Copies of this chain bind each other. A is one copy, B any other.
């Protein structure tokens, strides 16, 4: 009755579009070869997930992504027994699946997960590289190709959601930020399918909005939202309307901030 989720489904078929910003590809490759777990730090929507997809494609590894949340437990990651007919049948969780097949395992926004999840990964992220599956009484050893990646947004973590030192100090950490101007223009033009001039305007708006950080704005506008605006413009919406619904409205509820951003939009366009 169940459709078995074969690990092949996790292999990316075509190259994910990714423009490198610095030496992140070299660093990730060295960590992969030294079998060190990697932590990606940076704001929302700046390309961390795309980078992981790109690296998985490069190494021809299946990519198992887990969006972490407050109720994500160790059991969700490792697996559980489910009743099927009259028998309980074991179902591998995504982490077990990834370890078994030497996949790349990516825990997105890892601080959102429950603490037991974070401790669970300890034996997998030091030189032991093992995953104890208590409920099946087995200890899985990760093959050399297995790569563990987590992402983490240091910008808006509360004290309660900070990563513990005993977790942090198990990772090589690569820092991300919004791409530099020319690269972001190329991304917006490519993904939003607009001409370079429109992309240029949108990235100019994006950079000016990001300067409002520290002046009431929690976080800057992501590359993704700039792409959204481009897509709406391409769909026939006027540039100002597109920027309003894709940039001004989503990132804040504060009327004054909205007005400031709206002014940036009308100044640029």
Chain A positions within 8 Å of B, measured between CB atoms, are: 1-5, 9, 23, 26-27, 30-31, 33-34, 36, 39, 41, 43-45, 49, 65, 67-74, 76, 81-88, 90-91, 93-94, 108-109, 112, 114-116, 118-120, 122-123, 126-127, 134-139, 153-154, 156-157, 164-166, 168-175, 191, 218-219, 221-222, 224-225, 228, 231-232, 234-237, 241, 245-246, 249-251, 253
Given A33-B235, A69-B74: A250 and B169 within 8 A (CB)?
yes
Q: Chain B residues with Cβ under 8 A from A23's Cβ?
A: 241
**What is the chain B residue whose CB lies nearest that of A249?**
B173
Q: Chain B residues with Cβ under 8 A from A116's Cβ?
A: 69-72
**What is the chain B residue whose CB lies nearest that of A221?**
B169
**Interface residue SS majority, chain A:** mixed
Given A30-B235, A231-B36: A114 and B5 within 8 A (CB)?
no
Determine how many copies of this chain the complex contains.
Answer: 6
Q: Chain B residues with Cβ under 8 A from A9's Cβ?
A: 139
* B165 & A224 in contact (Cβ 8 Å cutoff): no
Closest 7 CB pairs between A and B? A173-B249, A5-B137, A69-B119, A154-B253, A69-B116, A30-B235, A44-B166
A115, B69: Cα distance in complex, Å: 6
Q: Chain B residues with Cβ under 8 A from A4's Cβ?
A: 137
* B82 & A135 in contact (Cβ 8 Å cutoff): yes
- The residue in A26, A83, A169, A218 that gathers the most chain B C-beta atoms within 10 A of its C-beta is A169
A27, B134: Cα distance in complex, Å: 32
Q: Chain B residues with Cβ under 8 A from A134's Cβ?
A: 76, 93-94
Given A123-B67, A172-B245, A231-B34: A135 and B27 within 8 A (CB)?
no
* B237 & A67 in contact (Cβ 8 Å cutoff): no
